[in-house]
Chain A
Amino acid sequence: MNARSEAVTKVGNRDAPLDLEAIFRLRYCRIARVIARVIRDPGRSEELAVEVFLKWSRNPKAQGSRADGWLYRTAVRMGLDELRRASRRSRYGFLLGIIGGPPTPEQIRSDREDQERVRSVLGTLKRRQAGLLVLRSEGLSYDELASALGLNPASVGTLLSRAQHAFRREYTRRYGNP
């Protein structure tokens, strides 16, 4: 298992009463980090992570043994949705929020540019491919990816490889040969 990854433990028995605070404290930082990979703004990532847990607490089907997968899946989906919304806004010139805003010295640094390029490419990929790449970069193992995205563990490697190819293809198409 990747050293950076926490084990995707089963956060409870389906029949056990929901201990929201325990699960929240155990998972919140990780979920916020996953979202922060997709969008730029850490503050907004924390807000979206709270939204993820709010939805989770209202969805009995997502609780129990399915909790981890559901939380990661929803975190990636909400991050990508936010990213796409911001991309649409910026397309129409409203450069506000997580992608936009007036350029700062920090933003014009090349590493920042690279982040934005990666994010814009992720925003164009299929949701599952983007989710695989984001969660893999967060350090989830193949088993954890399978659990989080509801995949067959045997096919995670193939799907991840396809996602990487798709990512490179789109990146090259947009920004030239790296």
Chain B
Amino acid sequence: METHSNSDICRWADDRLAALDPDSQWQPDAGRAFAKLNLRLAAGRRRSMERTWITAGLAAVLASVLLFPAPRMLAYQLLQTLTGHGGKGADSSSAGIAPADARARISPQADRSKAPGLRLRDGSGKLVDLADFQGRVVLMNFWATWCAACDWEIPMFSELEKEYESRGLSVVGISVDEDWPAVKAYIDRVGMSYITLLGNDASARLYGVQAFPRTFILDRHGRIAADHGTVMTRKEYESEIRSLLEEP
């Protein structure tokens, strides 16, 4: 076997690698290359600035959606429209209930239909009939413990009931959870002050409820005066309630 000393191999490798010497005529153009480098750096800075602005814009939109009710409501409505839940997209074929519309105001008295009868149990097991509220304006809210938008509305309904109860308003919450311990824990946590009934699929179907929250306002004669399939502001609810309370 042929053997070679280290120095032989070193020389041999150097000879081979010398083949890689660049052409002696070739001289890299540092000036042009530096101009190219500056262009790349400027483009990078521009992209970075754009990213910063986009991130700041998204953060501002997110913050306003989270912190302020009006944009939060708009976002929620948009989400509902896009996903086809609630709003005009809700299927309300049963019981002759008209589709919910966030913008709908209370309907004229002549157009109002009788609210379907409803008998549900409260937390203590007592049967409560919707007809018991005849002569009062009823704000009936279908909700669920897992519904994020309901979290926002329920404290507002408690406040509305406190303020308008003496003038003839009753707020009735209908939970569709069918799990009283979970509902009870929720009521205690949120501090719901109004009556809560345990609903189910059948009661939700009766009112054409497919998405939550869904809120109906009944006039003093037990007729549906307003139907909201989305989150509304306190001001909007208040104006409708006042108007119904003033009706004969």
Which A residues lie at the B interface, using CB under 8 A? 20-21, 24-25, 28-29, 32-33, 36-38, 42, 45-46, 49-50, 53-54, 57-58, 111, 114-115, 117-119, 133-134, 136-137, 161, 164-165, 167-168, 171, 177-178
Asked whether A137 and B37 contact (CB < 8 A) given A29-B27, A111-B19, the answer is no
Asked whether A178 and B28 contact (CB < 8 A) given A33-B22, A137-B20, the answer is no
B contact face: mostly helix, strand, loop, or mixed: helix
Chain A residues positioned under 8 Å from B126 (CB to CB) = none
A54 to B27: give the CA distance in the assembly, Å. 20
Closest to B23 in A: A42
**For the side of the interface on B, what is the size category?**
20 to 34
Chain B residues positioned under 8 Å from A58 (CB to CB) = 44
Chain A residues positioned under 8 Å from B16 (CB to CB) = 114, 117-118, 167, 171, 178
B28 near A28 (CB under 8 angstroms)? yes
Which B residues lie at the A interface, using CB under 8 A? 2, 4, 6, 9-10, 12-14, 16-23, 26-30, 33-34, 36-37, 40-41, 44
Chain B residues positioned under 8 Å from A54 (CB to CB) = 37, 40-41, 44
Please pick, from B2, B17, B29, B40, the residue contacting A137 in the complex, using a CB distance under 8 A. B17
Chain A residues positioned under 8 Å from B21 (CB to CB) = 37, 137
A36 to B18: give the CA distance in the assembly, Å. 13
Asked whether A49 and B17 contact (CB < 8 A) given A165-B9, A178-B12, the answer is no
A49 near B9 (CB under 8 angstroms)? no
A137 near B14 (CB under 8 angstroms)? yes
Asked whether A164 and B13 contact (CB < 8 A) given A50-B36, A50-B40, the answer is yes
Closest to A164 in B: B13
Closest to B36 in A: A50
A24 near B22 (CB under 8 angstroms)? no
A46 near B29 (CB under 8 angstroms)? yes
Chain A residues positioned under 8 Å from B28 (CB to CB) = 28-29, 32-33, 42, 45-46, 49
Chain A residues positioned under 8 Å from B27 (CB to CB) = 29
Chain B residues positioned under 8 Å from A45 (CB to CB) = 22, 28
B9 near A28 (CB under 8 angstroms)? no
Asked whether A28 and B30 contact (CB < 8 A) given A57-B41, A137-B14, the answer is yes
A25 near B22 (CB under 8 angstroms)? no
Shortest C-beta distance, A167 to chain B (Å), equals 5
Listed A/B pairs (12) with beta-carbon separation below 8 Å? A24-B33, A25-B34, A28-B34, A29-B28, A36-B22, A42-B26, A42-B28, A54-B44, A115-B19, A117-B16, A133-B13, A137-B14
Shortest C-beta distance, A91 to chain B (Å), equals 21
Chain B residues positioned under 8 Å from A57 (CB to CB) = 37, 41
A12 to B22: give the CA distance in the assembly, Å. 29
Asked whether A164 and B10 contact (CB < 8 A) given A114-B19, A118-B20, A137-B20, the answer is yes
B17 near A133 (CB under 8 angstroms)? yes
A54 to B45: give the CA distance in the assembly, Å. 12
A167 to B29: give the CA distance in the assembly, Å. 32
Shortest C-beta distance, A159 to chain B (Å), equals 13
